[in-house]
Each structure stands twice: as C-alpha cells, then as structure tokens.
Structure 1
Amino acid sequence: MSSKVYILHENEEWTTPLKGELEKLDVPYEDWFLDSGKLDLTEIPPEGIFYNRMSASSHTRNHRYAPEYTAAVISWLESHGRLVLNDSRALALEVSKVAQYNALREHGITTPKTIAAVGKEHLIRSADSFDGSFITKHNRAGKGLGVQLFQSKEALKQYVDSDDFDESIDGITLLQDYIQSPDASITRCEFVGGKFLYAVKVDTSEGFELCPADVCQVGDSYCPTTPATEKPKFEIIEDFDHPILKKYEEFLKANGITFAGIECIQNENGDLFTYDVNTNTNYNPDAEKKGNKSGMKAIAETLEKALLQFK
C-alpha cells in the first residue's frame, strides 16, 4: 500500500477546502472522521503522514468525545513512530486554555491574568481577585464559547445563578482580565509549517464568537446581500512584523504544533497579551482573496513536502 496523507478531524465543512488543495497538487489522502469509532491496539498503523485537525469545539457539533478518541488514536500512531503533524502535545493544548497559558508563559509570552475555577461558588469568589472589568470563558472552547463581559462580582453572580449560565464542557470556567483594545480589534497570527504566514485583524465590536471559516459566519452581518461598504470582520495586515513572532515560533516548535492560529490583543498602552492558540486553524476566504493569500494551499504544500520526504 502506497503512503498518503491522513486527515484526522470531526468537521467535514472545515476540511473540504484542504482536500481541494491536496487534489490540485495530486497528493493522495484519506479522511479519518474521528467523532467515534474503535481502535485495535494490536494493529499496525498504515504508512504515511498524519495531520491532526481535531477541534476543542467538537462538542458543539454533537461530537463530545472526539478529542478523547483522537488522543487515543494519536497515542497509537506515535507509539509506532508515525509522524503526526500537530501531535499529542498540540492536541492537549488545543483542548485546554489553562495548558496553553502555562506553556506560553514558559516562552516569555504575556497572557492576561486568569483564574481557573470549578464549581459556581469558587467561580463567583474568584471575582474578588479582579480590580476592574473581567470576562468569563470556557477552558475547552473555540468560537468564543462562554465569553461574557462583567463589570462587577454581583453581575457575575446573577449570571452564574441564572438559567443562562453556560458551563464549560470540562467543568473549568476561566475568569480573565478584560483587555480593551482602542479600536475593538484583535490580531490573529497564522503559522504553517511552524513558520509565520500572515496576520489578520479581526473586528470584535459585535461580539466574541468569531471563527474565520466562512461556514461559521451567520447573521445579518455576514449575509451576502449586506452592502460591500460595510467594514469587513477579517482583514489581512500587510507586512505585519512584531518581535512576538519569534517567541510564537519557538513556542510552536517546543509544543509539537505545525499549524496554528495565535490570537493576541493590545491595550491602549500598546501592551500585547496573547490569549488563544488554535491548532485547528481555519481561514477567511474573503480576507485571503483580497490579500492574495491561501492558508489551506500553504498547508497542502507543507503536507506534500512531508509526504515526499517520508517516501
């Protein structure tokens, strides 16, 4: 059996653009949809390159245990010496912001003040540690899950005690300093092959649940009939350069991450805070078309090169 690229994932819509780019390059691939399944540990994995695209938000698509199953599959692959791009360490960071922040700080990367709490009583009590505004977010998240802004402990208590309280799937809710950007934007830096590809400015003025993939864009602001003069949500930043990029690349290399989007924000004083690492990165087609970039093409070319080296 000839070797090929194996794509490990749980969302067909997010993976379709990659398959198209692999087909253009005539790269053989096989789809492993890991929302559920069975794994015989006595079997030998096939030969090839394995690309992990498992997402922390899989439970929002009724794939609750997809990350756990994928972790088992990757452990099996790595035990047989198979090359996994975005390996077991990368997956561990994908599903835990606590793990992300600890790893980022090890590389001298500043993250917002964060408290992880399990249980409503501890969550409410944690608000005493913040002097100003703070947000909640899920430890295992993606798409801005659980992000709410609060100005006081009492406001948090009302939310936590209400039917609207949205608990993280792993039971860990984060309280975090609210970093206010002067222009209500964040920057997402995309990396392919462990190297910086481009940066995107993301408008967050209408909320936090922003995924760059077009399949995530819902609501009037993303309707095709919306006037073209409206400010786009995603814009590629031309010639983006910042000293943080070197630290990001070192962080990725040390943690088995080949492909990622890293999100950061600057306050009014110009201080930069890094708050999210997405190892299942997606790209905005409109921004890429305007900026003449293609993240999925770059990923496909990286996979092609890895497969040729493997052969």
Structure 2
Amino acid sequence: MAPKIYVIHENELWMEPLRAAFAELGLPYEEWYLDQGVLDFSSTPPPGLFYNRMSASSHTRGHRYGPEYAAAVLAWLECHGRRVVNNGRALQLEVSKIAQYAALTQHGIRVPRTVAAVGRHQVIDAARSFDGSFITKHNRAGKGLGVRLFRSHDALRRYVGSDVFEEPIDGITLVQEYIGAPEPFITRVEFVGGRFLYAVRVDTSLGFELCPADVCQVDDAFCPAGEAPPAASAPRFRILKDFREPIVEKYARFIADNGIGIAGIEFIIDAAGTIYTYDVNTNTNYNSEAEAEAGMYGMRAIAAYLGEELEMSVRP
C-alpha cells in the first residue's frame, strides 16, 4: 500500500477547501470520517501521514462521541509510531478550554481569570467572585458555543433558571472575567507546520461565533469583546499585513510543546494594552474573502506542509 495523507475529521463542509488544495498540488490522500466506527487495536495502521482535524464542536453536528473515538484512533496510531499532525495531546487541548488555559499559563501566556463549574447552582456560585460584568462559555465548545455576556448576577440567575440555559456537552460551564476591549475585535494568529502564517482581525460586533469558515453562520448575539454595531462596509475578517507581536514567539513554543502543528490562537487586548489569550483551535479554518483580499491561502499552506511531511515520513 502506497503511503498517503490520512485526514481524520467529522465535517464534510470544512474539508472542501483542503480537498481542492490537495488536488491542486497532486497529493495522495484519504479521509477517515470518525463520527463512529470500529477500531481493531491489534491491527497495524497503513503507512503514511495522519492529520487530525477532529473538532470540539462535533456534537453540534450529531457526532457526540467523535472526539472520544478519534482519541482512541490517535492512541493506536501513536502506539505504532505513525507521524500524527495535531496528535493526541493536541486533541486533549481542543476539547477542553481549562486544559488549554493550564498549558498556556505554563508557557507564560496570560489567560482571562476563569472559574469552572458543574451544575446550575454551582455556576451561580462561581459568578459571585466576579465584580461587574462577566461571561459564561462552555469548556468543550468551538464556534463560540455558550458565550454570553452578563452585566449582573441577577441576569445570570434568571438565565440559569430558564429553559434557554445551554447545558455544556461535558457538563462544565466556565465563568470568566469580561475583557473590556476599546474596540470590538479580536485577533486570531494562524500557524502551519509550527510556523506563523498570518494574523487576522475579527470584528466581534455581530456576535462571538468566530469560526472563519464560509459555511459557519453568525447566530450568537452575546459578545464579550464589545457591542458597537460594525460599519456596514467593514469586512468581518481582515488579514493583517506585517503583523508583529512578541506573543507570536510564545505561541510557537506552546504549540511545539503540545503536539500541535496546525492551529489558530485567539487573543483580545484590553484598554491597558494587556493581551489575554482565550482560545486554541487545532482544526483551524480560514475565510476565503479575507484570503483573496490578502493573497494568502491557509489551506494551500496546510496541503503543502502535509505533502512535505508525507515525503519525510516515508524516507528510509
């Protein structure tokens, strides 16, 4: 069997740009769609390179146990010494923001003050230690799931006691300090092959579902970064030319130490100029309009990188 690139995922739509990039570069690949399946641990994996794109938001597409199954498959691959881009450790970080924050903090990267709570009453208790505004979010989320801004503890109590309360898929709700940014935007820093690719500025005025893929829809009106309406002509995603921030070097060390080859990392800057990093996306997507405007293409960079890694993985 000839070695090829194997892409582990659970979302057909998010794969379309990568398929096009593989075709453009003439790279051999196969998709492993891991929403469900059977794994014979005593078998031997095929030769090749494996790229993990399993998403923390898989449950929103009816794939509740996709990450758990992917974790088993990655353990099997790594047991047999196969090269995995975004390995089992990367998947652990993908599905837990608390795990992300712990790893980021160990690398000297500031994260927002966060309290984890299991249970509705415990969410209310967790919020008591926050003065002023605060937000809630899901520990295992993706696409800004569960992000809501609260101006008072009474507002949280009403929400938690209502039928619209969103139960997190892993049971863990995070209560987090509100970062008051002077302008309603966040920055997302993209890495491919462990190297900085580009940074993109994301307007958060319309909500906080920040998935940049064209198939994502903006449907969350709660935004912790600001509430001013965006200019009608302003693009929501804009690639920043000549982006320079010392935080990029810290991010590069962080991903290298955690089995991550491809990722988008998001941060926000408060009025004092302090950077807070709040999310790591190891199944990163890209916005086609922003890329066309800048002439930079993330999925093509990923395909080229995977092609190089495939060639290296089969060398004697």
TM range (shorter): over 0.9
Checking the alignment, whether the CA contact within 8 Å between 2:209 and 2:218 is kept in structure 1 is no
The residue that corresponds to 2:47 in the other structure is: 47
The residue that corresponds to 2:159 in the other structure is: 159
Query: Matches of residues 57-72 of structure 1 in structure 2 within 5 Å?
Result: 57-72=57-72
**Structure 2 CA distance for aligned equivalents of residues 292 and 263 of structure 1:** 22
Matched length? 303
CA shift in 2, pair 1:161/1:229, >3 Å: closer
The residue that corresponds to 1:291 in the other structure is: 294
**Structure 1 CA distance for aligned equivalents of residues 125 and 154 of structure 2:** 10
**Structure 2 CA distance for aligned equivalents of residues 136 and 65 of structure 1:** 24
Over the aligned positions, Cα root-mean-square deviation in angstroms equals 1.1
Alignment of 1:304 onto 2:312 = no
After TM superposition, where is structure 1 displaced by more than 4 Å over at least 4 residues in a row?
none
**SS at 2:201 equivalent:** strand
Of 282, 285, 289, the match for 1:282: 285
The residue that corresponds to 1:223 in the other structure is: none
The residue that corresponds to 2:92 in the other structure is: 92
Of 243, 251, 256, the match for 2:254: 251
1:24 positional shift: 1.1
**Structure 2 CA distance for aligned equivalents of residues 132 and 186 of structure 1:** 21
**Structure 2 CA distance for aligned equivalents of residues 275 and 218 of structure 1:** 19
Length-normalised TM-score, structure 2? 0.94
The residue that corresponds to 2:209 in the other structure is: 209
1:25 positional shift: 1.0
**Structure 2 CA distance for aligned equivalents of residues 139 and 308 of structure 1:** 37
Query: Matches of residues 146-185 of structure 1 in structure 2 within 5 Å?
Result: 146-185=146-185
Letter in 2 for 1:182: P
Letter in 2 for 1:13: L
The residue that corresponds to 2:200 in the other structure is: 200
**Structure 2 CA distance for aligned equivalents of residues 72 and 237 of structure 1:** 38
**Structure 2 CA distance for aligned equivalents of residues 53 and 15 of structure 1:** 9
Comparing 259-268 with 120-129, which one deviates more in the overlay? Answer: 120-129
**Structure 1 CA distance for aligned equivalents of residues 205 and 282 of structure 2:** 24
Letter in 1 for 2:55: S
**Structure 2 CA distance for aligned equivalents of residues 141 and 85 of structure 1:** 21
Letter in 2 for 1:74: L
Checking the alignment, whether the CA contact within 8 Å between 2:206 and 2:218 is kept in structure 1 is no
Question: Any idea what the Cα deviations from partners look like across 1:225-254, whole Å, max 9, x if unmatched?
Answer: xxx962111000110010100000000000
1:218 positional shift: 5.4
**Structure 1 CA distance for aligned equivalents of residues 170 and 232 of structure 2:** 41
**Structure 1 CA distance for aligned equivalents of residues 203 and 39 of structure 2:** 42
1:217 positional shift: 3.4
**Structure 1 CA distance for aligned equivalents of residues 258 and 171 of structure 2:** 25
Letter in 1 for 2:56: A
Letter in 2 for 1:59: H
CA shift in 2, pair 1:36/1:19, >3 Å: same
Alignment of 1:6 onto 2:6 = yes
**Structure 2 CA distance for aligned equivalents of residues 18 and 187 of structure 1:** 23
* Structure 2 stretches lacking a partner, 5+ long: 220-230
CA shift in 2, pair 1:137/1:50, >3 Å: same
Residue identity (%): 61
Letter in 1 for 2:11: N
**Structure 1 CA distance for aligned equivalents of residues 94 and 174 of structure 2:** 15
**Structure 2 CA distance for aligned equivalents of residues 155 and 216 of structure 1:** 29
Checking the alignment, whether the CA contact within 8 Å between 2:207 and 2:218 is kept in structure 1 is no
